[in-house]
Every structure is written in structure tokens, then in C-alpha cells.
Amino acid sequence: MNDFINLAGAFAVGIVIGALFFGGLWWTTLKGVVSDNPALWFFGSLLLRTVGMLVGLHLVAGDDWHRAIVCLLGFIVARFAVLRFFHVRQLRLPPSLDASEEQ
């Protein structure tokens, strides 16, 4: 029973890490597209999100590869959850950046 609780906790933390990672990617996309310096937004976000994900995974997994796998599974589940959540909210580009209106 103790193993199940440890693995369930690792799965939950994986979902949280994934939601922060992919939610941060969505937020970066919204801010970076209209920014004067989008490369700084995207590179900074990539660095911050990747370091946060790796540190979180390391803290959750410790020395147990089972917890690492379950945490990564939660991370992947969060990816699909964030995609489903933001699917309704389409990215609206400013008219100056919208390529479909130029045709």
C-alpha cells in the first residue's frame, strides 16, 4: 500500500509539473508573438521550463526509477489535458501578423 501511495504522489506531481511546463509554453506563445523581442521570450521560457521540469523530476524520482517513470507518465497526461483545455481558446494574432488576411 505504501508503494501505491508513493507512485500516486509521483503521478500527481508529474501532472503538476506538466501543467506548469505546457501552460508556460502556451503563455509564452501568447506573449512572444506580440513582443518586440520574441527570441528572448522563447529562449528564456525554454530554459526556465526545462530546468524546472528536470529539477522537479529529480526531486520526485530520487533513486527510484519507478517513481521517475510514473512522474513522466503524469507529465504526458498533463500534456494532453493542457491541449484539450486550450483547444477551445484559439490563438488570435493581431491583424498585422495574420497571414490569412494577406491573400
- pLDDT tens over the chain, length 103 residues: 788 898 999 999 999 999 999 999 989 988 898 889 999 999 999 999 999 999 999 999 888 999 999 999 999 999 999 888 877 555 566 666 655 555 5
Report pLDDT for 82: 87
Residue 18 in any domain: the answer is yes
> And the C-alpha cell for 41?
521570450
Residue 33 in any domain: the answer is yes
pTM for this structure?
0.78
Q: How far apart are CA 61 and CA 17, in angstroms?
A: 13
Residue 28 in any domain: the answer is yes
Residue 67 in any domain: the answer is yes
For 43, the domain range is 7-91
* Total domains in the fold of the chain: 1
Residue 98 in any domain: the answer is no
Q: Which of 68, 65, 85, 90 is nearest to 11 (CA)?
A: 68
Residue 103 in any domain: the answer is no
